Amino acid sequence: MIFRYFYVLVFAAFILSFYVWGQTQSVRLGYDVDNLRRECERWEQENRTWRLKVNCLLSMERLDKVAQEKKLVTPDEKVIIYLSS
């Protein structure tokens, strides 16, 4: 009889311990998730910054400026041949 109560107590202690462990893990994972979220946001912002840089480098104004610096000229219409699409 005493052993029965002992087993019940041990089982209850195990359940309680598992619950506490679960809670602790949940909080720990919460920290990890938050850190990963910040990391994700950081990479996303970096991606946007690079996307912006690419667009700035490919901007018409910049390309035109570079073309002028290299003394390139717009070809005369007479020397351009257009093939029908």
Partner 1 sequence: MYNYRRTILPFVLLFASFAAVGARLFFIQVWNHEELDRRVQKLICRDRPEQPCRGMVLDSQGRILAMSVRSYSVFLDMSRIDGLDEVDTALRKFHITIPREAYSTAKNSSYLPVVKNIDMATMQSIKALALKGVGFTAGYERQYPQGRLACHLLGVVGKDGDGLEGVELRSNEILSGDRIKDRRYRDGRGREISDRLVDLKDMRGANVYLTIDSNLQFIAEQELEKAWKESRAKKAMVVIQDPRTGDILAMAARPNFDPADYAGSGCSLRNPVISDVFEPGSTFKLVTAAAAIEEKAAKPSEVIWCEDGKYQLFGHTVSDHEKKGFLTLAQIIEYSSNIGAAKIGQRLGKDTLYRYIRQFGFYSLTGVDLPGEAKGLLKRPTSWSGLSLPVISFGQEIGTTAMQITNAYSAIANGGLLLEPEVIGEIKSPDGQTVSRAQKRIIRRVCSPETAAQLREMLRGVVEEGTGQLARVPGYSVGGKTGTAQKRDPKTGRYSSSAYVASFCGVIPLSLPRLTIYVALDEPQGDYWGASRAGPVFSRIASRAVHHLKIDPDREPLRLAGGKNF
> Cα separations (Å) of 71 from 39, 59, 60, 68?
45, 18, 16, 5
Per-residue tokens: 1: 């009889």
Q: Is 2 in the site for partner 1 (CB under 8 A)?
A: no
SS3 26: helix
> Could you say which of 62, 66, 67, 72 contacts partner 1 (CB under 8 A)?
62
Q: Is 76 in the site for partner 1 (CB under 8 A)?
A: no
Q: Is 73 in the site for partner 1 (CB under 8 A)?
A: no
The pattern of x and - marking residues 9 through 48 that bind partner 1 according to CB under 8 A reads ------------------x--xx-xx--x--xxx-xxx-x
Phi, psi angle pair for 75, to nearest 5°? -65, 150
| Residues 6+ positions from 62 with CB-CB distance below 8 Å | 56
Which positions touch partner 1 (CB under 8 A)? Answer: 27, 30-31, 33-34, 37, 40-42, 44-46, 48-49, 51-52, 55-56, 58-62, 64, 77, 79-85
